[in-house]
Structure 1
C-alpha cells in the first residue's frame, strides 16, 4: 500500500495537517458517493423517460392512423389537417405527415417556435432507409413500398406507421424530439450535483464541529510535549471528550512527573559524582580518539597549573610531550595495552609538562570505553614529584646510614670473630655461646647493609654491570658448589642437571653469582624438610634458561603478586625463623633485567616452587658461538 501511495504521489496532493487530511478525504468520499448514487438514479430516470416518450408517441401514432383511415378514403384533406393540428400540440411532436400509397404527401403539419402550421410540400417522401429495405426485398422477391418502424435522425426520431383499411391505403410519419427529455435530464443532473455539494458541505461542517475540540486538545498536548522537553513536571488540562485523548493526556501528565523525578535524581547524582571527582587527589581526563581533552576534574587544573576551561579542547600532547605523534589513536590504544599489562597494572610513569612549561614525573593509567559508539579514553594521572623526592631522600638516608654503620659493624664483627676463636683465651661455654650469637647477628646486619646499598645503587641507576661472555653451565656448577655448605644447614642438597656441555651467555660474572646465591638460598630455606633442590640449565628459544625448583609449601596466592617487592616475606609461619632481609628477590630481578634477561616463577601450594630466569646467548650475527 505504501508503495502504491508513493507511486501515485498522493502525499503531494494531501494537505499537511491531520484534520485537513481527514476533512479532505471525507469530503472526497462523500462527494463521490453522492455523485455515484445520483448518476445511477439519473440514468435509470433518463432511461425510463425515453421509454415513456417512445410509448406515448407510438400510441399517438396508432391513434392518428386509426382515426385518419376514413378521412383518407374520403380524401377529406381538411379533416386530416385538423386531426394533425390537434395532435401536434402534444409534447415532443415536431411534425406529422400523411402520405398516400404512392408516397405522395396528402397533408402535413410542422411545429416551429411552438406554433403549428400546415405544410404544402407535395414532394414524394420515403422512409430514410427505404433504399436499403428495397434492395433487401429485391433479393427475397418481395418488395414492399414502405418501411415501418422507428428511425433515429440526427437530432430527432421519426416513426412510420401504415394506414390500412383491409389493405394499406397510406402511411403516417411522426417526427418527435426528446429535447424536453434532455432538458429534464440536465435538470436532474444539476439537482444531483447540488445535492452532492450540499451533502458534502454539511458532512464537512459536522466533521469540523466534531473535530474542533479534540484537535485543539491535540494541539495543547503537542505544545505541552514540546515544553516538557525543556521543563518537566508541568501538567496539561485533561480533555475527557474522547477516550483516547483523555488517556494520552493522563499518560503524559504521569510521564512528566516521572521525568521530573528522574531529572532531579540524575541532577543530584551528577552533582554528587562531580563533587567526588573534584575532590580526588588524582587528575581525571576524558579524551577523544584524536587526543583532544573532552573534560577533566579540578585536580587536573591543580596538577598542570591552569583553569579547567583553558584545558578543554587542548590536545594531550600539550600535557604529555611523548604523545606528540601523528596518529594519536594508535598512541592511545598502545598506551592502554601497556598500562594494563601484567607488569604495569596500575599505570605507567611518564614525563608530563605543566602549562608554564615545567616538566615533572607523573603516573598515568588509560582505559578505553565508548560514548554513543565513538571510542573515548579515560586517564587517571598523578603527580609523583613528591614521591620521587621522598624516594630520593630515603635512598640518600639509607646510603648514609649504611655507609656509617658498615665500618663499625665490620670492626665489631671482626673483633667478635677473634674473641670467638680464642685470641683472648678460652672463653667459658656460656660466654662463648653469647659471643657466637653476637657474631652471627653482626653477620646478618652486614648482609642487610650490603643489600640496602645494592638497592640504593639499583634505584639510582649506579649499579656497575660488566657484561662479558661466560659459560653459564660452569657458572651455575660453581654457584651450586659455593652454596652447598649453606644448604647443608637445612639438610638440603642441590641436584644439578643439564644436557649441555657448555652454554655461552652475555652476563656479569659477579652479579650472576649474586642472583644464583639469592635464589639457591631461598630454595634451601623454604624446602620445608624436602632433601633436594633441582637446578637445571637449558636453552629456550634464543635465550639461556636457568630453573631452580624446590619441593616446599609453595607461595600463597595472596602473596604471589608481591614476591618481587622490597622487604616482602610471606607469613607462612616459619618465614621469620629462616632469616633474610626481604631484598634478595627484588635485587635479583633488577640485576637480571640489567643483564638483558627476564625472571619469574611458577608455584603450586603444597607442591613447591620453581624460580627461573633467562639470559641472552653470546652469539654473533651469524649464529656462531663466541
Structure 2
C-alpha cells in the first residue's frame, strides 16, 4: 500500500510548499483523532468478549483481547512519540507509521471474524453489526488520507465477507454480499471525505494566505498612513518653524538700532523697520510704495541716482559698505547726517536693495565738541607742560656740576618722567591716533643698567607704599642697547609695577641685568602667587591693529610688548618653580664703548 507523496496531493495553487503543508496537515488530523478511537476500540473489544463469552472458547477470547490491547498500546505510544517530537521524522515517515499501526488494528479486528466466529446466528449478527459499525466510525477518522482508511476497512470487512460466504447458508451469503457492498461503500465514502478534507484544508490555507496578504496590505497601508502622518507633522513643524523664524526675524529687525529699508528694482519702498521710521519721522503706511528719493534731500537726489547706477554697473551684492556718510531728509524737512550701507538682494526673479542707515547727528555733535575740547586742552595743558620740561632740561644742563650724584640722578629721572608725561598727553590729545604714545623718538645707544637703575628708583616710592622692597642685583652686568630711552623706561616701569602688584607685603622684588648670547636680559622676580594659565595666555595681548588701547599703553603689559618688539626684543612671563613670578625684557645688546651715554 503506497501512501501519497507531497506532490500527489491535489493542486493547491501554491506550489510544492503548499502541497507539503496540506499533506502535513492531513497527517496531523489523523494523529489528533486517534485517542478517542483507541478508547472506542477497547470498549468494543470488551463488549465483544462479553457477548461471545458463551459462544467462543475463553482462551481464544483472551488471546484476541490481548492482541487488541497490545496494538492499542503501540498506537498510543506512537501518538505520544509524535506529540513529543514531531520534528524527529518527516511527514511521510509519520504517515507510514500511522498506516502500519492502522493495518495492525484492522488485521486484529478482521481476525475476530475468522477466529471468533460463533456457531449461533444471533452472536454472528452481533459480530457483523459490531464490525461494520466500527468500520463506519473508523472511515470518518482515517479518511484524511485514503490509503490509511483502506488499510483499516479491507482487513476488517474482507475476512468478515469471506467467513459469511463460507458459512453455507442463504442468510450467510446475503450477509456476506452486504459486507462486500458495505466495504465498497465505505471506501467510496472515504475517498469523498478525503477530497472534502483536502478541499477544506486548501480553502483554509488559501484563506490564511489571503488573510496574510490582507494583513500585509493593512500593514503597508498603516505604514503609508504613518508616513503620511509623519510627513504632515513634519510639514506642520516646518510651517511652525518658518512662522517662528519669520516672527523672530521680524522681532530682530524691529529692535535693532539701525534703520533697515528695503527697496524694489524700481526704487519703491517695500518695508521699513521701527528704527527707520523713527529716524525719518514717518508712519509705515505713509512710505510704503513711495519712491526712496522721498527720504533724500532734493539737491542730492540726482547724485544718489548716479551713485546707484554706477554701483549697479560694477555688479556684486554689496553696493556700498556700511559707514558711507550721506544726508537724509526727515518728514519735517530737516536734513541730517547718516551712515548708509547698501546691498543688492534677489527674491526669485525680482531684484531689490537693502539699505542700512544710522542717524549720526549726535555723534557729529560729540565730535565737534571733542574737537573743540582737544583744542582747548592742547593749549591749556601742553603750554605749561612744555615750559616745565624746558626748565628741567635747563636745570639738568647747568646744575649737573654742582649737584651731588643722587640729586643729579633724581633730577634726570624727573626730566625723563616729564618727557614721558608730555608724550602721553600728546597721544591722548590726538583723538585720531591714540597709539602715538608708543611712537619711537630719536633712538640712540643707552646703558641698560643705568636705565634699569632709573626705573627702579622711579618705582621705589610705589613699592614702599605697598610695603614691598625693590632691590637691584649688585652683580648685574653693564651693557649697551640701542633705542628710545623714554619708551624703554616705560616698558621697564610696566614690568616692575606688575611684579610689585603680585608681591605679598614684606617681600622683595628683585631686579637683575644679565648678558645672554647677544641680548641684554632684565629679570624681575617676585615671591607672590604665580598667574594661572588662563591669565598668562592674555597677559601681553594687544589690539588687532598691533597697538594697545590708550589705557593699556599707559598702564598695561601690552604696551611693554609693543615697545620691546619695536626695539627688536621680547617680553615674557614665567612661573617660578620655587613660587612667584618672573617677568623679563630681552633686548639686543653689546658691551659698552667709549662715548656711550648713560
Q: TM-score higher than 0.5 here?
A: no
- TM-score where L is the length of structure 1: 0.34
**Larger helix share, 1 or 2:** 2
- TM-score where L is the length of structure 2: 0.35
**Larger strand share, 1 or 2:** 1
